């Protein structure tokens, strides 16, 4: 019988606003923080026996270049004998890292893996192509924070290069999701996040980040920076960001953020040998492709795939974490999965609209939150699912142990 893959520990940094509290932290240093925390929290582990460090990261054009997983593990103090790999499935990278770790453990090729993700969207660099001909004066120059750059004209002609907000507008039209419904979902996300923050749920999954100060003690950032007090009136007053008749606004979209997350994934034998207590079983992962113009609907076919793989059903999911890239996208996915807007099992501690969406880290954050919600509610199964730019979806099922 093949071994099972378990999550024994999970920790993340606070999520910072764009240009906010974490803006001065290099991406590789940011990724090292939750890894170092896992090492400190689990002193009985022989880290020389670590099979791999797998981190998701969507940009990899700046301080996250040269394999940020490897750099972060070394900066965290991991032995140099421990390997590291960075994977990129854009927004789904952190969730894919966890699923990839689980597959390696289930195959028997690995026993103990740190998996997670990182993104510093604040520190994403500007990028520039080299000239195609000698002495050329023309050039291409892009901000790599998010979205398309160095576009292939064939891709543009065949599939379009709709921006992320434009893909959400496409879903709003297709599924007839009005602006008010989107704003109400955004308000729900903010209220849930603020309540969870007040109840200490977020604090239990966060490790502080110390920001050095010249001539003074470091500042400790120990809470998510993105949630905010708002109202339906405020949200409804915001202008659209795609076109004058659009419904997508800064208030009903996820943030541009900084953050990192890491989880300890192992098989049962390694858990026993290292004195670890499994908290959740990684049941299965599935991915699916969709039309790039409608990328936000990707969680629907991905979830259908993972249900088919496991024989489980949506009705058996006690906790659902849908990454809120946009309210319109989240509501479209809920309709596609047969979920009601007032279903309390969905994102009950807030989602990406309130907490933020540091691309490569968000999937790992979903799993961390889902596991904590399962244990808090003493429920059994959780679904974590995300849409992905250029038209994909990814879904993972967890079981509390």
Give the per-residue pLDDT at 139: 80
Do the domain assignments include residue 225? no
Do the domain assignments include residue 208? no
Give the per-residue pLDDT at 138: 79
Q: How many domains would you assign to the chain?
A: 1
Query: Can you give the CATH number for the domain in which 369 is found?
Result: 3.40.47.10
Report the alpha-carbon distance of residue 367 to residue 387 in Å, rounded: 15
Model confidence at 1: pLDDT above 90: no
Do the domain assignments include residue 136? no
Report the alpha-carbon distance of residue 339 to residue 374 in Å, rounded: 19
Do the domain assignments include residue 209? no
DSSP labels, 316-356: G-SEEEE--SBHHHHHHHHHHTT--TT-TTBSTT--HHHH-
Give the per-residue pLDDT at 244: 94
Tell me whether strands 319-322 and 381-388 are parallel, antiparallel or unpaired.
parallel
Model confidence at 156: pLDDT above 80: yes
Do the domain assignments include residue 120? yes
Q: How many Cβ atoms are within 10 Å of 68's Cβ, its own excluded?
A: 32
Asked if 326 contacts 333 with a C-beta cutoff of 8 angstroms, the reply is no
Residues with catalytic function: 91, 357, 387
Model confidence at 299: pLDDT above 90: yes
Give the range of the structural domain holding residue 99, as residue numbers without chain letter. Answer: 5-124+254-400
pTM of the predicted model as reported, rounded to 2 decimal places: 0.97
Do the domain assignments include residue 227? no
Do the domain assignments include residue 145? no
Instruction: Please list, in sequence order, all residues whose beta carbon lies within 8 angstroms of the beta carbon of residue 390, skipping any fewer than 6 positions away.
Output: 90, 292, 295
Q: How sure is the predictor about 137, in pLDDT bands with cuts at 50, 70 and 90?
A: confident
Q: List C-alpha distances in Å: 261 to 34, 54, 55, 130, 361.
A: 6, 11, 9, 34, 6
């Amino acid at each position: 019988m093949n071994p099972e893959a378990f999550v024994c520990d999970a920790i993340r940094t606070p999520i910072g606003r764009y240009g906010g509290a974490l803006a001065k932290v290099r991406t590789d240093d940011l990724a090292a923080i939750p890894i170092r925390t896992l090492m400190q929290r689990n002193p009985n582990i022989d880290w020389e026996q670590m099979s791999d460090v797998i981190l998701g990261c969507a940009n990899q054009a700046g301080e996250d270049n040269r394999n940020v997983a490897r750099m972060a593990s070394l900066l965290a103090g991991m032995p140099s004998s421990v390997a590291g790999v960075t994977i990129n499935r854009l927004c789904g990278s952190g969730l894919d890292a966890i699923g990839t770790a689980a597959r390696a453990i289930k195959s028997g090729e690995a026993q103990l893996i740190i998996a997670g993700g990182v993104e510093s969207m604040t520190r994403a660099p500007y990028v520039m192509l080299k000239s195609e001909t000698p002495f050329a004066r023309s050039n291409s120059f892009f901000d790599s924070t998010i979205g398309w750059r160095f576009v292939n004209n064939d891709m543009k002609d065949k599939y379009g290069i709709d921006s992320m907000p434009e893909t959400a507008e496409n879903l709003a039209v297709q599924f007839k999701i009005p602006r008010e419904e989107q704003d109400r979902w955004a308000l729900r996300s903010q209220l849930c996040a603020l309540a969870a923050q007040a109840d200490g749920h977020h604090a239990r999954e966060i490790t502080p980040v110390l920001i050095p100060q010249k001539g003074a003690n470091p500042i400790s950032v120990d809470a998510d920076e993105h949630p905010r007090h708002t109202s339906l009136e405020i949200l409804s007053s915001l202008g659209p960001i795609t076109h004058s008749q659009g419904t997508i606004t800064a208030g009903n979209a996820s943030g541009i953020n900084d953050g990192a997350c890491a989880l300890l994934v192992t098989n049962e034998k390694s858990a026993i040998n290292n004195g670890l207590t499994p908290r959740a079983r990684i049941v299965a992962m599935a991915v699916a492709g969709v039309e790039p113009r409608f990328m936000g609907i990707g969680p629907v076919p991905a979830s259908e795939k993972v249900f088919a793989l496991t024989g489980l059903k949506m009705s058996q999911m006690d906790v659902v974490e849908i990454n809120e890239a946009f309210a319109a996208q989240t509501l479209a996915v809920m309709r596609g999965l047969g979920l009601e807007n007032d279903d309390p099992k969905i994102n009950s501690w807030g989602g990406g609209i309130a907490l933020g969406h540091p691309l490569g880290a968000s999937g790992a954050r979903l799993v961390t939150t889902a596991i904590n919600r399962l244990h808090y509610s003493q429920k059994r199964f959780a679904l974590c699912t995300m849409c992905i730019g250029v038209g994909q979806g990814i879904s993972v099922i967890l079981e509390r142990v």
